[in-house]
Chains A and B, each alone.
Chain A
């Protein structure tokens, strides 16, 4: 068995002939927190869906625990997914179930544990994210940060080996952001799991990640430890890490010359 729990091997993926990813290679070693960063729309979330087997790659393969994901049948994929937990961007809590039932959901669906044991486990998981007291609330009664924490408790309900985070920091206030940040690191170390974070929040991600991949234009533009990347002189990485307005990623959406467009407009008006 290799030391890498997830390996993305030379993957290409695209819709209708337009390639979103071109020959991407990534490895995710056991026990580490690895981040995938990149601008909006660079296909980061798609990489998570490829790992989870929700979509099939056009070329190449994803291996989880040495098994090629897209070659598994439905049962095999479901078996792989039982070793994964995923935190969705907005939590994706089941709105018709209470906080308690949300966390209990994977246990009830996938295991035959007796109800008293499920109760203990759920309260334990909720305690880990600091929301044991909120177990009777409905998801609509939670703040964004609290919902994210409940979703996190649900993602780790079955003690997964791989935890994937889709934009865990997006749209949170600084306090909640700090809390989530801490939780990701501490849960990873406590469970001995591997975490894959997809994010564009540089500060928080660099704080907890062991290794970072930068994705731009469908390729891995840069990779390294947060420290290396902070000092990177690659123009794209520099622009991204320091949040500069203009650089290799242009401010303007591609358009024709501004002046000529204005002239054309006024010419039309005259007629």
Chain B
């Protein structure tokens, strides 16, 4: 009886240990891919239209989901904010509330989460399938480096797209909040904007939001690329990899957001 318990315990511990080692190994492999991507970026910049093409697929194709989500998020913020603020008789502060929560947090974070679901999964599935159908091997055998030709353009496209999408998200969100607050609820138009302008700082709020979204862009795109590159070349492997892309990207974005925010708030 005792030995059975002992056996189970050792099994559990070895299982945990093995998983930890696996995670750390993947982290290292991901870091190596990141390094190689940076190294071979020069080669891919010579043919910049490849990157532009990927900006089209990751950025332009995500516009609709970003704009629609931003609009609704802004409207909800407007409604909720007004509901609470008017209890304290400061419903003019609604502009500040909407703008600050969008520019500082929701813009970069929600954009990154949507990006992971929309563009990240597409990247993982595409690269995973390219690997499964030996397209990456074929490229290598043609003396074309897949990291320079496939990975680097997608990486830079993600890094370019994310801040653009996040800025759009914040702007459209503010407009959504405006539409709820001013024409629908009847908050004063001037107070809405002037309170906002008095309390949103360009460097501290807007630039920091852009910095956040650039960091999220690097993280989300790199995770999607690595998962695709690392996917076992089977249908099941690719599907698992796509799931992992969403899960890991989301967790990483939220974790990074905390770290970045704590840096930005104290400095």
Contacts and interface: CB of A to CB of B under 8 A. Distances in A.
Q: Do A and B come from one complex?
A: yes
Interface of A: 52, 54, 77-79, 81-82, 84, 86, 88-90, 92-96, 105-106, 109-110
B134 A92 contact: yes
Given A78-B143, A82-B143, A109 B138 contact: no
B21 interface: no
B144 A109 contact: yes
A93 B137 CA distance: 11
Q: Which secondary structure characterizes the binding site on chain B?
A: helix
Contacts of B145: 78
Contact of B144 (A52, A54, A92, A106): A106
Contacts of B133: 90, 92, 95
Contact of B141 (A86, A90, A94, A95): A86
Nearest to A157: B142
Interface residues of B, number: 15
Contacts of B137: 54, 88, 92
A8 B145 CA distance: 25
A27 B166 CA distance: 59
Q: Which one of B129, B130, B141, B149 has the greatest number of beta carbons of chain A within 10 Å? A: B141
B140 interface: yes
Interface in B115-145: 126, 129-130, 133-135, 137-138, 140-145
B143 A92 contact: no
B137 to A, nearest CB: 7
B138 A81 contact: no
A138 B133 CA distance: 15
Interface of B: 126, 129-130, 133-135, 137-138, 140-145, 149
A140 to B, nearest CB: 11
Nearest to B144: A109
A89 B144 contact: no
Contact of B135 (A77, A81, A94): A94
Contacts of B134: 88-90, 92
Nearest to A78: B143
B236 to A, nearest CB: 18
20 contacts: A52-B140, A78-B145, A82-B143, A86-B138, A86-B141, A88-B138, A89-B134, A92-B134, A92-B135, A93-B135, A94-B135, A94-B138, A95-B129, A95-B135, A96-B126, A105-B142, A106-B142, A106-B144, A110-B142, A110-B143
A81 B142 CA distance: 6
Contacts of A110: 142-144
Given A81-B141, A88-B137, A110-B143, 15 more contacts: A52-B141, A54-B137, A54-B140, A79-B143, A81-B142, A90-B134, A92-B133, A92-B135, A92-B137, A92-B138, A94-B130, A95-B135, A106-B142, A109-B149, A110-B144
A96 B139 CA distance: 14
A106 to B, nearest CB: 5
Q: 10 tightest CB-CB pairs across the interface, nearest first?
A: A92-B138, A92-B134, A81-B143, A78-B143, A86-B141, A88-B134, A109-B144, A106-B142, A82-B143, A92-B135
Contacts of B129: 95
Nearest to A82: B143
B140 to A, nearest CB: 6
B241 to A, nearest CB: 18
Contacts of A78: 143, 145
B142 A109 contact: yes
A84 B141 contact: yes
A127 to B, nearest CB: 21
A95 B129 CA distance: 10
A79 B149 CA distance: 17
Contacts of B143: 77-79, 81-82, 110
B25 to A, nearest CB: 15
